[in-house]
């Protein structure tokens, strides 16, 4: 069956890395396909079946400022009954400016100051971001971590199942932009204030033993698990491909990491592919 991943996002956020990774995973990749050429390409896919899996990169230059073009492109894929997923890569403006300063590349919107160009591109791509099945914030992600996440989430593309990703993070470093649900674990006892536990993480037995002394920890976990088990089938029924559940504590080292590891254990072996990510431990 023909399957298409549409890769889009802000310049400097990692689109080239994502496309190269998908190519390594066996996708036929097209960089910056003009949207108006999508119809003949889709027709060829249906009539000749040259590729089983295709990834197409689309950026603001493909759209020419016309939001309707992207809607028309998706309608074309629907008419040809070609399943697709949309991957959108983003990063905060400060990170993008730093990346451009390091590479000395010119921004695609090059007729204005860099910060203004980034914000203009963000506005131009709003329609794609709003329709994305998967959003990955690469602000605190290096190339190797991005490649790993792309391989995990899209390398073995399976349209039949919703993938569930548990992410730990620290509130002091900002919210993850790709989270569908955010749970705040700062209400739980903090192992950071125990000197012997401070250098450890939520993956260590000492931190787990500390948190499990408190009944509110288990109650917090039980309520998240109950919520997800009740609602995951409803999200899957709406053809959602991904659901990202973020658990945050102050620094992203102890409580949130422990909770993510426990949730991974609770949902492993079930009907949904499980991924985990510890943002601050990276």
Is 243 annotated to bind ligand? no
Question: What is the distance, to the nearest Å, from the Cα of residue 43 to the centroid of all Cα atoms in its chain?
Answer: 29
Greatest Cα pair distance in the chain:
66
Measured between alpha carbons, how far is 130 from 112 in angstroms, rounded to an integer? 25
Q: 261 to each of 85, 139, 244, 253, how far by Cα in Å?
A: 28, 23, 14, 12
| Residue 110 counted as an annotated binding residue | no
* 70 token code pair: 């992207």
CB 256 within 8 A of CB 249: yes
How far is it, in rounded angstroms, from Cα 266 to Cα 13?
33
Residues 6+ apart with CB under 8 A from 80: 42, 43, 45, 46
Q: How far apart are CA 15 and CA 31, in angstroms?
A: 9
Q: Are strands 163-170 and 84-90 parallel, antiparallel or unpaired?
A: unpaired
Residue 59, marked binder: yes
Does the annotation flag 61 for ligand binding?
Answer: yes
**14 marked ligand binding residue:** yes
Cα(103)–Cα(12) distance, integer angstroms = 10
Q: Is 202 flagged in the annotation as binding? A: no
16 is in an annotated binding site: yes
Whose CA is closest to 163, among 88, 57, 235? 235
Residue 62 among known ligand-binding residues: yes
Binding site as annotated, residues for ATP: 9-16
Binding site as annotated, residues: 9-16, 59-62
Binding site as annotated, residues for GTP: 59-62
């Amino acid at each position: 069956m023909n399957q298409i991943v549409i890769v889009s996002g802000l310049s400097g956020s990692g689109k080239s890395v994502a496309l190269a990774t998908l190519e390594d995973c066996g996708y036929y990749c097209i960089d910056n396909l003009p949207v108006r050429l999508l119809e003949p390409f889709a027709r060829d896919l249906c009539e000749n079946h040259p590729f089983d899996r295709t990834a197409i990169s689309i950026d603001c230059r493909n759209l020419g400022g016309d939001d309707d073009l992207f809607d028309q492109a998706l309608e074309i894929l629907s008419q040809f009954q070609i399943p697709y997923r949309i991957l959108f890569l983003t990063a905060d403006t400060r990170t993008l400016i730093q990346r451009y300063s390091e590479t000395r590349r010119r921004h695609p919107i090059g007729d204005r100051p860099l910060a203004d160009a980034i914000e203009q591109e963000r506005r131009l791509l709003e329609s794609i971001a709003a329709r994305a099945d998967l959003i990955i914030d690469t602000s605190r992600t290096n190339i190797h971590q991005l490649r790993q996440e792309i391989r995990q989430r899209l390398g073995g593309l399976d349209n039949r199942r919703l993938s569930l990703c548990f992410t730990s993070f620290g509130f002091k470093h900002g919210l993850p932009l790709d989270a569908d649900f955010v749970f705040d674990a700062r209400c739980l006892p903090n192992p950071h204030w125990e000197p012997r536990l401070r250098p450890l993480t939520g993956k260590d037995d000492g931190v787990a033993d500390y948190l499990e002394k408190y009944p509110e920890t288990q109650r917090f976990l039980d309520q998240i698990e109950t919520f997800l088990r009740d609602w995951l089938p409803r999200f899957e029924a709406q053809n959602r491909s991904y659901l990202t559940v973020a658990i945050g504590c102050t620094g992203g080292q102890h409580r949130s990491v422990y909770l993510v590891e426990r949730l991974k254990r609770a949902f492993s072996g079930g009907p949904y592919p499980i991924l985990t990510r510890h943002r601050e431990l990276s």
